[in-house]
Amino acid sequence: MTGVDAALLAWMVVVGMDLVSVGQFMLSRPLVAGLVAGAIVGDPVAGGTVGMVFELFALDVMPIGAVRYPDYGMGAVVAAVVVAGAPFELVVGVGVLAGLVVAVAGEIGSHLVRRANGAATAMVADRIAEHGASAVTRLHLAGLARDGIRAVTVGAAGLVLARSVRAWFGIDAQTALLLALVMVGCALGTAAAGSFRVSGTREHGGWLVAGLLVGVGIALL
Amino acid sequence: MFLIQGSWGYDRMIGIGLAFAMRPLLPTDGAGGVDRAALTRSAEFFNAHPYLAGAAVGALSRAEADGVEPAEVARLRGALSGPLGAIGDRLFWAGLLRAVSGLGMLLAVLVAIPVGAVVLLVAYNIPHIAVRVWALDVGYRDGPLVGRALGNPMLRHALDWAPRAGALAVGVALPVVAVFVLERFTLNAAVGALGVAAATAVVVRWLAPSFGGIRLALLAAGITVIGSVLWP
């Protein structure tokens, strides 16, 4: 493992654990995660740009209650590694695809961690009164460790995938371009649908539409 | 408090995390350890927004420390769960997070990508950390009467404005980001991507939440790759 890979893996663990279990400081937002990953591999602009594509996907997420959602931050890191230093329009499709696979793997991992936490709690719950604070501390720290293991596992697998996917650059330019358009189109469509689902209510829909009009004006300028 | 979701599980949600956070504030037993009956109660099911859970940590700890009857503590616990979740979801997930995400993307395009990322982090975390500190403080100070603090006029005002700011910021950012990404492609290709976007928006809006954008994107990518292999 090179120093760059070690730094990327460490960043993926930070990103993965920030998603739910440690702090939720939004280091796991794709724009941030992708930018830092891009900086680590020497192409922060590509990392930040592909992070923005994942930020669009993430607008579909409302992390309330027991909702399961993809780990878009880890996905953005993997996508940033794939697209770094290559012609953006030809690699963004492959990069986003690899990132989405990792995002889903992160989501499945979170589900397994939650189930494992529940099973561990069920086994120990009756003994909290007997063992006191140490039982609660052990349960809690074990939960954190499980999420850490999830982040390391998904992160390592994601990096292997990213390095392998770069070999895909051999696909013909037409397919790469088509994939790029499909991925970017899906990101924009998902963001639009998510925004109207969350903010397009009678109460706030006017603000969303006003924003869209302003945004179109800025874009045309 | 920053680790309160560390042991999140489907059955007790943040119950164990709540007990973990409450340990230093709970009354002690005769041997100098944490009161085990209070600790056991603290570890029961609990669900709330993680940033506002501090209000529950403070209020329930204060109630236990003041010797409030266990049935009353349980009632308080049940009464806090819903409002703390609903307020946090509206304030942060539907409001502030979307506002800073939109603002971050906008600044990333119009100024520089690092500026967008830094503004996102700073603009989010100042209120985030302030609310965490306020919630714990007000919870412990007011104890079982913490519900009154949730009627704080500033909080009510923020609850009105945060989702509006989120809607506005995302609305402004979407067309700007779309142009920023699509200008790298030819006009025909960009129009094609917008067609995909329109179809995706309709399908995701129709099938959500059972079939979100990521599933559709993976399906579309699979079809694209397989199609390109079969019909080069």
pLDDT tens figures, B40-82: 888 889 999 999 999 999 999 999 988 889 999 999 999 998 8
Yes or no, beta carbons of A136 and B20 under 8 Å apart = yes
CA–chain centroid gap for B214, Å, is 20
Taking CB atoms and an 8 Å cutoff, what residues of chain A touch B24? none
Put simply, the chain A residues between 138 and 157 with a CB less than 8 A from any chain B CB are 139-144, 147
Mean pLDDT of A17-36: 96
- Measure in Å the smallest separation between the Cα of A3 and chain B Cα atoms: 23
Yes or no, beta carbons of A188 and B178 under 8 Å apart = yes
Q: How sure is the predictor about B102, in pLDDT bands with cuts at 50, 70 and 90? A: very high
Q: Cα-flanking dihedrals φ and ψ of residue A113, to 5°?
A: -65, -45
3-state SS assignment for residue B111: coil
Put simply, the chain B residues between 5 and 24 with a CB less than 8 A from any chain A CB are 5-13, 15-17, 19-20, 23
3-state SS assignment for residue B132: helix
Compute CA distances B70 → B39, B129, B225, whole Å. Answer: 11, 31, 61
Tell me the pLDDT tens digit for each residue of B201-210: 999 888 877 7
Inform me whether the pLDDT recorded for A200 exceeds 80. Answer: no
Taking CB atoms and an 8 Å cutoff, what residues of chain A touch B165? 207
Mean pLDDT of B128-135: 96
Residue of B nearest to A72 (CA): B214
Q: Which pLDDT score is estimated for A169?
A: 62
Of the listed ranges A19-28, A132-141, B134-143, the one predicted with least confidence: A132-141
Residue with tokens 């920023």: B180
More confident of the two residues A163 and A130:
A163
Total residues belonging to chain B: 232
Tell me the pLDDT tens digit for each residue of A72-124: 999 999 999 999 998 888 899 999 999 999 999 999 999 999 999 999 998 88
Distance, in Å, from the CA atom of A46 to the CA atom of A92, rounded to the nearest integer, reads 9
Q: How sure is the predictor about A199, in pLDDT bands with cuts at 50, 70 and 90? A: confident
Distance, in Å, from the CA atom of B144 to the CA atom of A123, rounded to the nearest integer, reads 31
Give the DSSP H or E segment for A107: helix A88-124
Q: Which pLDDT score is estimated for B220?
A: 93
Mean pLDDT of B122-126: 97
- Measure in Å the smallest separation between the Cα of B167 and chain A Cα atoms: 5
Tell me the pLDDT tens digit for each residue of A44-72: 999 999 999 999 999 998 888 788 899 99
Inform me whether the pLDDT recorded for A170 exceeds 70. Answer: no
Q: Which pLDDT score is estimated for A168?
A: 64
Q: Cα-flanking dihedrals φ and ψ of residue B28, to 5°?
A: -100, 160
Quote the ipTM score.
0.92
Q: Which residues pair with B34 in a beta bridge?
A: B28
One-letter amino acid at A49 equals: T
Using a CB–CB cutoff of 8 Å, tell me whether B161 touches chain A.
no
pLDDT above 90 as % of chain A: 72
